[in-house]
């Protein structure tokens, strides 16, 4: 389904509310107000809160997948998918955070699309030309760093963070035997 401009704005408004006010403030009324439309206008495109959250999730998953699975013209060496995964996962983590938080707190069944795509992403990472064990360790480390940031679980800062990322990137340059 191709999103129209109003649908994009409604999804953007949803993400803004989650990111700035918290999931508890995610109501149809607040989304309509944030987007500058009537509640009826919102309901025309998204008949309920679950549909709105699913729209945000689908949009995030598609952007995320496109961002790291689209081949780069500049990087065609083994490990390119892993390097893109590192960059995309940690460049704008709030983008995916808003969708995950909304899904986890409103309806855990909404996590199913993420679970399915993570399996696809894992397969791509394992087939990226780096030893699959090393590739999986890198993915798990990136995910752990992201979760640490998302939940404020002793997030690493400044030089240590940069050094960790550089080491992960270096690990992507190890070829399969």
Residue 90 has what pLDDT?
79
CB atoms near residue 124 (< 10 Å): 17
Looking at the chain, the number of H-run helices and the number of E-run strands are 9, 0
Q: At what angle do helices 93-106 and 5-21 cross, to 10 degrees?
A: 80
When mean pLDDT is compared across 53-62, 80-89, 101-110, the lowest value belongs to: 101-110
Residue 73 has what pLDDT?
59
Report, as an integer, the average pLDDT of 124-129: 92
pLDDT digits (tens, 9 = 90+) for 4-41: 899 999 999 998 888 888 888 889 999 999 999 999 99
* Rounded distance between C-alpha atoms, residue 107 and residue 73, angstroms: 39
Q: At what angle do helices 112-126 and 49-69 cross, to 10 degrees?
A: 10
Q: Give the chain's mean pLDDT.
A: 85
What are the b/e assignments for 45-61, b being 16+ CB within 10 Å? bbeebeebbbbbbebbb
pTM beyond cutoff 0.85: no
> DSSP characters for 122-162?
HHHHHTSSS-HHHHHHHHHHHHHHHHHHHHTSS---HHHHH
Residue 20 has what pLDDT?
84
Give yes or no for a contact between 57 and 113, defined as CB atoms under 8 angstroms apart: yes
Residue 176 has what pLDDT?
57
- Whether the per-residue pLDDT at 81 is higher than 80: the answer is yes
Contacts of residue 166, Cβ cutoff 8 Å, sequence gap at least 6: none
Q: Which residue from 41, 40, 42 is spatially nearest to 17, judged by alpha carbons?
A: 42
């Amino acid at each position: 389904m191709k999103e129209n401009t109003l649908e994009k704005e409604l999804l953007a408004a949803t993400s803004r509310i989650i990111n700035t006010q918290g999931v508890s403030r995610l109501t149809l009324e607040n989304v309509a107000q944030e987007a500058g439309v009537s509640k009826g206008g919102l309901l025309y495109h998204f008949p309920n809160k679950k549909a709105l959250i699913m729209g945000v999730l689908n949009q995030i998953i598609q952007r995320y997948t496109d961002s790291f699975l689209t081949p780069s013209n500049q990087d065609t060496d083994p490990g390119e998918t892993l390097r893109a995964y590192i960059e995309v996962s940690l460049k704008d983590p709030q983008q995916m955070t808003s969708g995950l938080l909304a899904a986890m707190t409103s309806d855990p069944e909404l996590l199913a699309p993420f679970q399915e795509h993570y399996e696809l992403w894992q397969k791509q990472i394992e087939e990226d030309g780096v030893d699959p064990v090393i590739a999986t360790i890198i993915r798990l480390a990136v995910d752990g760093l992201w979760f640490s940031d998302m939940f404020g679980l002793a997030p690493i800062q400044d030089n240590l963070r940069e050094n960790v990322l550089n080491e992960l990137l270096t690990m992507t340059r190890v070829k399969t035997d």
